[in-house]
Structure 1
Amino acid sequence: MNEILIYGDIGWDNTAKAVDEQLKTFNGEPVTVRINSGGGDVYEGIAILNTLRGYAGDVTVVVESIAASAASFIAVGVGGKVIARPNAEVMIHKAWTMLAGNADDIDKTKADLARQDVKIAGIYAGKAGGALDDWLALMSAETWYTADEAVASGLVDEVQDAKQPVEASIGGHRVLARFRYSNRASAPPPLPVAGRSVSAANQTKKGDTMSILNQLADELGKSPEDVTKALTGFF
């Protein structure tokens, strides 16, 4: 089996050059990209994404434990099937940088970050549907998804178990330490994307939906029935 491992930080442990060198040895045969990364450099992430997009063969992505930040848009943007392990997590957020300089420099940096955000939101919308503004809002909130929630959102196609699932890990420490939340357990439930089509939403299995409902009820200290009634009244 042809595999590429994107384990660790984007731009440090993983580069587009290294990915390209591996792809050249596969001769257009199917390849599986396995991801366990907290993200990293946005430009290197886009370069890795476009390198994988340009590959002649089929590319399947497997989120083994975490695909956060740049690793998340690599995972969903390749164009092939995206699989998440049952204990995996996906996180999306707005681009950020270290800031230094005068007022003009800061304005230029803000404009550059805003441009990156629109590009990244377009990658999520291209996979899951919905409006750019919806995805920008989810990115601004730093949204974490369980594997089932990622399927419900449209970012992941299915949850698939492995013979020996990996244990949840924190991924690359350089990047994850800077996030607002440490993981999905400490983050609020993700909001739905209003612009997603009914057909896309209906692809989620009933079991996945109930799992999400039960988890939401548990986090709110309510029964699933109470949460269902509240959501029905809201919508």
Structure 2
Amino acid sequence: MTQVREDRGEADGSGAPHGVMAALAWLPRLLALHVAWAVLVLCGGVIGGIAPATATLAAVLRGEVPGADPLEGKSGFGGAARAVLGRFRAELGPANGAAGPFLVIGLAAGANLALGIAGALPSWFFPAGFAAAGVLAAISVLALFHAIALHVLRPGAPAPMLWRGALAGIVLLPMATVSWAITLVAVGIVSGIIQPVGLLLGGGILVAVTTLVLVRSWQSRLDAATV
């Protein structure tokens, strides 16, 4: 019945308003995800909190964290917060093990880029070194979130296997990789123009896009590989 109503909406021109309402319905969820992501990242010491925070909330979106919905059961918001924090603590080691190398490499490459832009590096660094740092930073960021997606789906897999899969995923899932990158670049541009978007929704959008694009794409590929 839902599909029939959607088809009718598209046929009579009401599909666009329905899509707008669906998008608006996501705003409170994105805000909640953003606040939770920011708190968890801080709990992990910022750098050490990015991967476990993203993995935890991706698992929450997938319904894999019992008690994380404050509307379920009688525990309310407090019980949901405890469930999320419990999952986050469990993810601190494994998620950082899966994504940590890419995070460290990306930070090092980003630092070189920042120093180069600031003119704090010697002239021989340009242009080859600067370009190499840019490419390395981009690959590291893409591999970082592929590694998080794979960890969410295969939490018990050895870290080296996840590292290889994350690097291969950039090539194996080109559409998902490009869609993820374009979406977040667009969000960054919009946030630069309308700053409240980034301040209130940035982390939530990152988690949602990672879950809906990368995790789902990897899930489909892994399911196809096991058939």
Q: Would you say same fold, with TM above 0.5?
A: no
Bigger relative contact order (CA 8 A; separation at least 6) = 2
Greater share of helix residues, 1 or 2? 2
Choose between structure 1 and 2: higher strand proportion. 1
The two structures have a TM-score, normalised by structure 1, of 0.29
Instruction: Point out the structure with max Rg over C-alpha.
Output: 2
Could you tell me the TM-score, scaled by structure 2's length?
0.30
